[in-house]
Amino acid sequence: MKEAERMVQRQILQRGVTSPRVLEAMRRVPRHEFVPPSQRLFAYQDRPLPIGRGQTISQPYIVAYMTEMLDLRPGDKVLEVGSGCGYQTAVLLEMGAEVYSIEIVDSLREEAEERLRRLGYEKARFFPGDGARGLPREAPFDRILVAAAAAALPGELVRQLTPEGRMILPLGGPYDAQELALVTRDSRGEPVMRSLIPVRFVPLVEPRP
């Protein structure tokens, strides 16, 4: 796939993502399959694209960077908050993760599940619900990836991390400066947060009353 290889070489590797496993996952997932037909011409460009319902697919570099910062090990149990179109889900599956993906927009979740099955990614588990609350019945998780911006660190998600777990998420309001944060836990179980890079994500969707 020439476009995917070009994407990896020019947009990801040259910007500092060097994990061989992440780079190979980004090569293998057919990004054009995860965007609407009207956007396929732009699928491998380094920018977010609209996928409908006010949501976007993140730019390739951000997907690769977030995945690398998770420091995934094969078999890790991963909670993905915000399935979206399923692209990040597919990258996590290519990395050998056991993925539990939560999406509040029913139509997006159903389409993502069907798309992944059609492409041969059959191991992801999809759940409806409020991403900020996570999936307590399936916890704990080795890794948590949040694909929408939270105004503040969701304490419930921190509590669902294993003691040695890692969570990556964008923090900030929809009209404020946002930053990508890496969260771990100290010896007392308290969150330790490290700011990484400035980002721009759509906000977490609030559940309807």
- Nearest CA to 126 out of 193, 171, 80 is that of 80
What are the structure tokens assigned to 165, written together?
Answer: 């777990």
- Parallel, antiparallel, or unpaired: how do β-strands 77-81 and 98-103 relate? parallel
Of 93, 117, 92, 103, the residue nearest 168 (C-alpha): 92
* Phi, psi values for residue 58, rounded to 5°: -65, 155
Cis check: omega of the bond before 198, within 30 degrees of 0: no
Going from the C-alpha of 122 to that of each of 4, 77, 119, 126, the distances in angstroms are 22, 16, 8, 11
Three-class DSSP category at 93: helix
* Spatial distance between the Cα atoms of 8 and 36, rounded to a whole number of angstroms: 21
What tokens does 4 get?
């995917």
Given the residues 19, 58, 83, 187, select the one marked as catalytic.
Answer: 58
58 given a catalytic annotation: yes
Catalytic positions = 58
